[in-house]
Homo-oligomer: A and B are copies of this chain.
Amino acid sequence: MSNLINISEAASLALHGLVFIAKNQPSRINVKVLAEELNASQTHLAKVFQKLGKANLVRSLRGPAGGFELNKPAEDITFLEIYEIIDGEIILGDCPLGKNHCVFKSCIFDNELNRISQDIYETFSKMKLSEFS
């Protein structure tokens, strides 16, 4: 079984978790509760949100009554931004598979695959957290 769009479990957790937090604004939400709500691994979710915090997408507060909350308006947070923080920067190059060298003089998959890559990129950049909250 395979997934056509390349989204890691971590990025999926980030996406779903942030939507949930956006929905529940302005309350702070801690990882334990969020993991229960998302039916997800608490430790993994914690790591993911650590990254989101480092990237200043969310702010965190430790201790009792601590947790995470959005660090900017939901309408200013795109899926592209979230995706790139977790899974790494997207580079839309000549090769849709991200290779530097290819035997074939011009990329044989160029037309089809680059169109799709472009489409995904644009779609991600248009999807805002606010649409779901």
A interface, CB within 8 angstroms of B: 1-7, 12, 15-16, 19-20, 37-39, 83-84, 87-91, 96-99, 101-104, 108-109, 112-113, 116-117, 119-121, 123, 127, 132
Contact = CB atoms under 8 A, between A and B. Distances in A.
24 contacts: A1-B88, A1-B90, A1-B98, A2-B6, A2-B83, A2-B87, A2-B89, A2-B90, A3-B6, A4-B120, A5-B6, A5-B96, A5-B113, A5-B120, A12-B99, A15-B109, A16-B103, A16-B104, A16-B108, A38-B103, A108-B132, A112-B123, A116-B123, A119-B119
A103 B21 CA distance: 13
A7 B6 CA distance: 8
